[in-house]
Amino acid sequence: MFLSLSLVAGRNNLKLILGTAALGIGILLILLFYIIRKLSLSESRVFWKNRSESYQNVENILKNYECFSPKRYTYSDIKKMTNSFRVKLGQGGFGCVFKGTLENGVLVAVKVLKGLKGSGEEFINEVVAISRTSHVNIVTLLGFCFEGRNRALIYEFMPNGSLERFIYDRNSTFRQLGRETLYQIAVGISRGLEYLHRGCNMRILHFDIKPHNVLLDEDFCPKISDFGLAKLCPQKESIISLLGTRGTAGYIAPEVFCRSFGGVSHKSDVYSYGMMILEMVGGRKNIDDGVDQTTELCFPHWIYKRLELDEELRLQGNVNEEANESARKMIIVGLWCIQTDPSHRPAMSKVVEMLEGSPESLQIPPKPFLSSPSRSPAESSTTHFITMCD
């Protein structure tokens, strides 16, 4: 009897202990949930506050530049002109580009941006920087949309798309462009860059010159586009301060990612231009993921070697003396533009002069010792930087 009572009392005590423990754990869980929720709400408020401030900052800047800015459209206008985004022209990290039509029947390209990054610098650059320009070799911004989370840029429509489609051997469309057409495109791009560097009241540094960002109209007249990474600076300033690296691997000047090579300036665009016209002549990318990594040649070294040996560069199109002369000029100018020391590169005004002048007056530059690197199979295609060439 006594043992039975003791067992009952023991079970009751165990139940009491377990109940108390369960109650304590429940209270702790409730407190933990409350703390997490409170922190989450606090972070959310900070996030939305920062986001709201970013939008307001962009709005304020747009108002300050209202006299320079093109027409502003609502998001419903954008949907209407693109027929609810029916025809997609292209896609990138920024978002998508759709074909559109204005009320007057003019065809346009509508660039719909994914989101407002950071302080909205890229969107502001596109609207403010390009709105200051007016040149036959600079794409025209016809309007923009900044409404809540929706942002879009309306450009003139370029029926032939980007230069990238026409300059690499693996693209069948390359056969449509002869050497002389490529040469005229190179000259047009150089004039557009010269205008950005010298023709505006504020010098505009593009920082992302590459074939993808050069658009071609129906007559293959080139127009520089995509000013998302651009930087405005006074004409008198030759060197600018730049936080971090900007641009696309393969076209980034050495000083942009390593200041020991020199100061960042308009000469950084010159480097990108030089690498691009060497690609146009060579018919291949300076960084090509499709090339066998064990036999990949240093691209400018490959170009320079053929210049020294006066070898054919395997370009498509009709071969004649005038076309060969144009190609040779592009090679020499391109090699001058990619000199490691920025002070050894010509200004874009000199580049135009060299391209339009006599080839006999051009001196062959020193052999380049910087270019795209050799890669090991384990390396990612996004980790290309500049290395020494033998």
In a domain, 9, yes or no: no
- Same structural domain, 106 and 137: yes
User: Pick from 136, 156, 176: which residue ends a domain?
Assistant: 156
Tokens 């730049």 map to which residue?
242
Which ranges of 147-231 does DSSP label H, i.e. alpha helix? 179-194
Residue 357 half-sphere exposure toward CB, CA atoms < 13 A: 13
Pairing of strands 202-205, 231-234: antiparallel
- Same structural domain, 218 and 345: yes
- Same structural domain, 254 and 374: yes
Specify the CATH number for the domain of residue 199.
1.10.510.10
In a domain, 3, yes or no: no
In a domain, 49, yes or no: no
In a domain, 44, yes or no: no
- Same structural domain, 148 and 167: no
- Same structural domain, 142 and 172: no
- Same structural domain, 201 and 295: yes
Q: Say what the pLDDT of residue 388 is.
A: 32
In a domain, 330, yes or no: yes
In a domain, 26, yes or no: no
User: Pick from 127, 156, 185: which residue ends a domain?
Assistant: 156
- Same structural domain, 150 and 266: no
pLDDT per residue over 352-368, tens digit each? 999 999 888 899 898 87
The CA-atom distances, in angstroms, between 190 and each of 138, 176, 222, 248 are 11, 22, 10, 19
Q: Say what the pLDDT of residue 321 is.
A: 73
In a domain, 252, yes or no: yes
Q: Say what the pLDDT of residue 382 is.
A: 32
User: Pick from 107, 141, 156: which residue ends a domain?
Assistant: 156
Q: Say what the pLDDT of residue 44 is.
A: 41
Query: Measured at the alpha carbon of residue 211, what is the angle toward residues 278 and 317, in degrees to the nearest 5?
Result: 60
Q: Show the tokens assigned to 276.
A: 């691009």
How many structural domains is the chain composed of?
Answer: 2
- Same structural domain, 168 and 241: yes
Tokens 């390396």 map to which residue?
379
In a domain, 257, yes or no: yes
Burial track 200-221 (b if 16+ CB lie within 10 A, e otherwise): beebbbbbbbbbbbbbbeeebe
Pairing of strands 141-147, 71-72: parallel
- Same structural domain, 244 and 349: yes
pLDDT per residue over 36-60, tens digit each? 666 555 444 443 344 555 666 666 7
Residue 75 belongs to what domain range? 71-156
- Same structural domain, 132 and 167: no
- Same structural domain, 182 and 255: yes
* Spans in the chain with pLDDT lower than 70: 1-19, 21, 36-59, 61-69, 115-121, 169-176, 237, 288-297, 309-319, 369-390
Q: Is 382 strand, coil or helix? A: coil
- Same structural domain, 179 and 323: yes
Q: Say what the pLDDT of residue 299 is.
A: 77
Q: Say what the pLDDT of residue 187 is.
A: 97
Q: Give the residue numbers marked as catalytic.
A: 208
Specify the CATH number for the domain of residue 122.
3.30.200.20
